[in-house]
Amino acid sequence: MKNKKRFLAVFVTFLMVVSLLYGCGGKTNDPAPQTSTGSSSDASVSQPADGGEDGPFGKYAEPVTISVVKNLGQSSMEFPEGDSLEDNVWTRYYEDQFNIRFDWKWSTTLEQYDQKVNIAITSGDVPDVMKVNRTQLKMMVDNEQVYDLTELVDKYASDFTKEVLNADDGASLDSATFSGRLMAIPAIVSDLQSANVLWIRTDWLGNLGLDIPETVEDFWTVAEAFATKDPDGNGANDTYALALNKDLFGTGSVYASGEGFFNMYNSYPNIWITKDGKLAYGSIQPEAKDALAALQEMYAKGYMDPEFGVKDANKVNEDVCAGKAGMMFGNFWNMAWVNDAKVADPTVEWVPAAIPGNAKAQLSFGTTSYYVVSKDCKYPEAAFKLLNGYLDKGYGEHAEPLIYNITPEGYGPFDYPVITMEPSMKNFEAAKKVTAALESGDTSGLNAEQMNYYELCKLSLAGDHSNNNWHQLKMFGPGGSLGVVQKYWDNGNVMPDLYYGPPTPAMTEKKSTLDKLQLTDFSVIIMGAPVDDFDKFVANWLNLGGRDMTDEVNEWYANK
């Protein structure tokens, strides 16, 4: 039982990894699950060809030491007995394979990490390899603190590493490129994982004789019924339709979020889209006013929680699990938070559906973190060797997931190294194969990780929804959320964020103020302020820095 509890804790922690943002742990982070099966020995006998000392897997003739720091996530990491951050399966692999050792300068939790990185940058006490955000990367480039990796990537990145780094057609590499020079290794995250789906209670639909909504009109019909027609059959007027959290959009709002609702009205808040051949901010376009008017009507009619304006995602989840709401927009992994409610009442059934109205789902630019190499590093190519090894042993030809990803005892070595990354489309590929295997019974095409998802889905289908089994089914099984999101892509129904450059001067100075202005003005409109106040918001947004930000973004767009 202890091992199962540790496994669940580690799994949920990894599930919430986001590169969003995508730090380690926590319910408000975007997940990327990876439980797996495989060999359980601590030593690998299958190694890639090294290509000589100078190759992607080349071993230094003498030990070299790389200074590093580590973000531990929201709490300290757990290690098998005798292991530690300084001595574990990965550090031993790196020394055996590459003759690389580590000098751990410091480690800290997610809450303190950015602050400590900022201090390191300001003081000039920069380790050889460090993970930074986009703002910090720009600062270090301006300070001439980072090593130019342009000439190293072709020589030292393995073929598989190059494939992973170019999975988004080079956009992430472009975001790490300054004046034509690659100044960091982007921590690739799939944009697709940011897309909203509509989560809806089909047991309520069945009680009311309704179908999953396909059009905006259908959505309103279901909303009225969920709020007024006793969908749970308890004889009380205690339900509402749409769950929405107070933060509305963004990295703190990936559960019961607002993007999907706005997308339903062809509005794309918080991302840069094209308009008249230039980039324009989605939040200030006329379609956003239409979406706000619709949300105001939802609120006024009682189709939403009257207290939504004070409830964060965690509080909204309490209502969802208590059976008070029947629909919400959110990310593909959202049922991780509802799994316990499913265990408590197996009649509860949520399913993912496409955003009604054949709408385009907006995509945030997924890569928000980067690995920088200090300009003073004696062995800058070591960063690529570390990444090559991580991808190879975690996902590549020589993968041993039960050693290097999640162990049978429930430990999570996937998070131990200083450089971590996964193939951006891994989860979508797994969903295709797991769904096909569940439908056919043929598991011969599954790798170890996919086989594990298959087994968890089978448990849920047999009625055992515990240990996040049901959540796995909702992602990887037939009709799962990853399949819904994949169809957006296949059908061209996506609206990507077209700005992925570094923070502009106006963004650095004004964006936090503009974000607060947007949240305040949008919230009061939803709760009853005149819809025409949106026009005042747009004027204020432009005058308080938004116009400068737009000009700077378009200068980048014209020259990229």
Of 105, 99, 93, the C-alpha closest to 65 is 99
328 close to 320: Cβ distance less than 8 angstroms? yes
One-letter identity of residue 338? V
pLDDT at 34: 39
Higher pLDDT: 299 or 8? It is: 299
pLDDT above 70 (res 52): no
Q: Comparing C-alpha atoms, which of 420, 502, 511, 355 is closest to residue 185? A: 420
**497, part of any domain:** no
Residue 432, domain member (yes or no):
no
Is residue 183 located within the same domain as residue 246? no
| Pairwise CA distance, residues 445 & 520, whole Å | 51
Closest of 226, 371, 355 to residue 303, by C-alpha: 226
pLDDT in tens, 255-265: 999 999 999 99
- Residues 168, 236, single domain; the answer is no
Q: Is 245 left (phi over 0), alpha (psi -120 to 50) or beta?
A: beta
pLDDT of residue 11: 42
Identify the band that residue 28 occupies on the pLDDT scale cut at 50, 70 and 90: very low
From CA 517, how far away is CA 61, in angstroms rounded? Answer: 57
Helix (H, G, I), strand (E, B) or coil at 171: helix
As to burial, measured by CB atoms within 10 angstroms (0-12 exposed, 13-18 middle, 19+ buried), residue 427 is: buried
51 pLDDT above the threshold of 60: no
Q: Residue 39 has what pLDDT? A: 35
Per the model's pLDDT, the better-predicted residue between 103 and 29 turns out to be 103
pLDDT at 26: 32
pLDDT of residue 511: 95
Number of Cα atoms under 13 Å in the Cβ half of residue 54: 3
pLDDT value for 29: 34
What phi, psi does 135 have (nearest 5°)? -65, -45
How far, in Å, CA of 65 to CA of 42, rounded?
Answer: 23
231 and 176 in a single domain? The answer is no
Average pLDDT over residues 386-394: 97
Tens of pLDDT, residue by residue over 297-334, are 999 999 999 999 999 999 999 999 999 999 999 999 99
66 in any annotated domain: yes
Higher-pLDDT residue of 44 and 356 is: 356
Please check the confidence at residue 15 and state whether its pLDDT lies above 90. Answer: no
Query: Could you tell me the two tokens for 381?
Result: 């190519």
Tell me the average pLDDT across 461-466.
97
Yes or no: say if 410 and 47 are a contact pair by the CB < 8 Å rule: no
In degrees, to the nearest 5, what angle opens at C-alpha 427 toward C-alphas 424 and 429?
95
Domain boundary among 360, 383, 415: 415
Pair 400, 516 in one domain: no
The pLDDT score that the predictor gives to residue 542 is 99
The C-alpha atoms of residue 97 and residue 434 are separated, in whole angstroms, by 33
Q: Which of 380, 415, 450 is the last residue of a domain?
A: 415
Q: Taking residues 90-94, what's their average pLDDT? A: 98
142 and 25 within one domain: yes
pLDDT beyond 50 at 168: yes
Say yes or no: 51 and 180 in one domain. Answer: yes
Q: In angstroms, rounded to a whole number, what is the distance separating the alpha carbons of residues 403 and 395? A: 12
pLDDT at residue 19 tops 80: no
Residues 65 and 186 in one domain: yes
Looking at the structure, tell me whether residues 158 and 229 fall in a common domain.
no
Report how far residue 223's alpha carbon sits from residue 229's, in angstroms, rounded to the nearest whole number.
Answer: 10
* Residue whose tokens read 């190694």: 47
CA 169 – CA 250 distance, rounded (Å): 24
Domain that holds residue 201: 196-330+504-559
Assigned domain for 175 exists: yes
Residues 152 and 292 in one domain: no
Same domain, 187 and 200: no
Give the pLDDT of residue 16: 41
Instruction: Write 434-442 long-range contacts (CB < 8 A, 24+).
Output: 434/476, 434/477, 435/476, 435/477, 435/478, 435/480, 435/483, 438/477, 438/478, 439/478
Q: What is the mean pLDDT of the chain?
A: 90
Cβ atoms < 10 Å from Cβ of 170: 12
44 plus 173 within the same structural domain: yes
Average pLDDT over residues 153-175: 95
Of 405, 389, 388, 484, residue with least CA distance to 452: 405
Per-residue model confidence as pLDDT tens digits over 181-197:
999 999 998 999 999 99
Q: For residue 225, what is the domain's CATH number?
A: 3.40.190.10
> How far apart are the C-alpha atoms of 430 and 416, rounded to whole Å?
24
179 CB neighbour count, 10 Å cutoff: 6
Beta-bridge partners for 130: 372
Residues 6+ apart with CB under 8 A from 514: 541, 544, 545, 546, 549
> Mean pLDDT over residues 379-384, rounded?
98
Tell whether 26 is covered by a domain. Answer: yes
SS (H, E, C) 94-108: HHHHHCEEEEEEEEE
Q: Comparing 33 with 441, which gets the higher pLDDT? A: 441
Q: Is residue 228 part of a domain?
A: yes
The pLDDT of residue 253 is 63
Q: Is 92 contained in some domain?
A: yes
Residues 6+ positions from 120 with CB-CB distance below 8 Å = 69, 126, 127, 130
Cα distance between residue 424 and residue 370, in whole Å: 15
- 39 vs 254, higher pLDDT: 254
- Residue scoring higher pLDDT (9 or 447): 447
Q: Please say which residue of 415, 438, 470 terminates a domain.
A: 415
Amino acid 10: pLDDT = 42
Question: What total number of domains does the chain contain?
Answer: 2
Predicted pLDDT at 402: 83
- The pLDDT score that the predictor gives to residue 405 is 87
Side by side, the strands of the sheet bearing 350-353 are 240-243, 325-330, 197-201, 350-353
* DSSP state at residue 477: S
Task: Give the residue-averaged pLDDT of 493-519.
Answer: 95
Share of the chain above pLDDT 90, in %: 82
Among residues 228, 227, 197, the alpha carbon closest in space to that of 488 is found at 197
What is the chain's alpha carbon radius of gyration, rounded to the nearest angstrom?
24
Q: Which two three-digit tokens encode residue 250? A: 């963004």
Is residue 489 in a domain?
no
Q: 395 and 311 share a domain?
A: no
Q: Which pLDDT value is given to residue 250?
A: 78
User: What does the alpha-carbon distance between residue 528 and residue 259 come to, in Å, rounded to a whole number?
Assistant: 20
List pLDDT tens digits, range 276-292: 999 999 999 999 999 99
**CA angle centred on 428, ends 183 and 456, rounded to 5°:** 125
Mean predicted confidence (pLDDT) in 225-240: 97
Residues 469-495: b if buried by 16+ CB within 10 A, e if exposed: bbbbbbbbbeebbbbbbbebbeeebbb
In the predicted model, is pLDDT for residue 27 greater than 50? no
Q: Would you state the pLDDT for residue 53?
A: 65
Q: What angle do CA 92, 96, 97 make, to 5 degrees?
A: 115
Residues 283, 285, 290: CA angle, nearest 5 degrees: 90
Beta-carbon count within 10 A of 125 CB: 12
